[in-house]
Structure 1
């Protein structure tokens, strides 16, 4: 079991001359990335428009329309991610509204089923009672999708990936172990029946660019950790070699539900 604390990245101090050179490169990268984001945003506009027209032209309720709508939904999430990049570049604060966890999991079910191999069973269980967490909805959806993709890639045909969400109240001791403040959280768990991880792999699983797959980028779990840190939550990884793995993402409960729990 590996507990990933909210702030586990080391800082490196560079000499003044190197810092000056890096500042110039960063400025150039900033301009270039802004242009790329702008152009990608235009392309997503084309994709969104084409999928909207395709979905409208296809038979109502048919499989073809269903797939067109899933593509439209994925493109909408991509466009939202680009808007986040633009807001970060412009130092704009994001407004964080309460997130309906059932809605998030329903979206995740559609996206994960298209991205995971057909031979792997995907089960997403929505909470029976209303459940809301605090944070960035698109960021949460992408973090959970990353966890599902990792689980699916580690699981052979005939295996399964299961996703659940539950409200939990962490005591001082439990919260301390996760590097969190005590209180109410939503725990999103993604469990697979795959090959699991060795202790050595588990210890490095969230390191940026670390991967055990030839075609992997090593950015999936790292980005989930970044989301958890920004959301004032935590990521807990549990795995044994040959016995599958469970990733649990803790996100603070919405304020209204935290107050209701305390009452």
Structure 2
């Protein structure tokens, strides 16, 4: 699944491709991608201009004229790419936005898990899943005090706590494995048992990891591509994710892989302390 750095990279590469363009026609080849009224989606968008793209956590917010926003979640495999309307349709192309300049933006999704919603701009916290999310890494709200207090209220393990998005928004399986290893915290540690100094260290590492991943244009492990069709570069910097059976870069012991609530999890049993 594209995580926060990948979605930020999509935002940055997609913006120059479509900003300022006017929608001429919308085609829904697989209407269920749109979670709001399908007819309204097709009828309301022609004539609207793309004024910019914002992002919160793993959500893209495509801002349009007349105070409308398309909220897009890529889920596991969603991708955008710019074509001409005459380009043969790929079997996994599900939505097309044709523009007045004879280009078209297509949404491609092998698993069809991604979703779009058409909303009034500014209502995303009231009308979409964004309202349930915690603060983003590197935001002014994501402070030591906030993080410490949030973890004190969670008795479940730290891996699931970081994945559920209500404490920190935008982290997924890849980055959680990486930041826990760098922090020396076992993924099965109870969130509310982690010492305060380790919570502060973990927050700093989360911020650093996400900033570097964005700088490197995200991580391509499976199918992630940005809006230009390019892979990310952060996979070259992964220390534990995808390295089960290799030697730990810190201590030299073998990295192990287990499942935490069904999610594949790579960790070092020697370096990562369990807090219970």
**Aligning the two structures, in what range does the TM-score lie when normalised by the shorter sequence?**
under 0.3
TM-score normalised by the chain length of structure 1: 0.24
TM-score normalised by the chain length of structure 2: 0.23
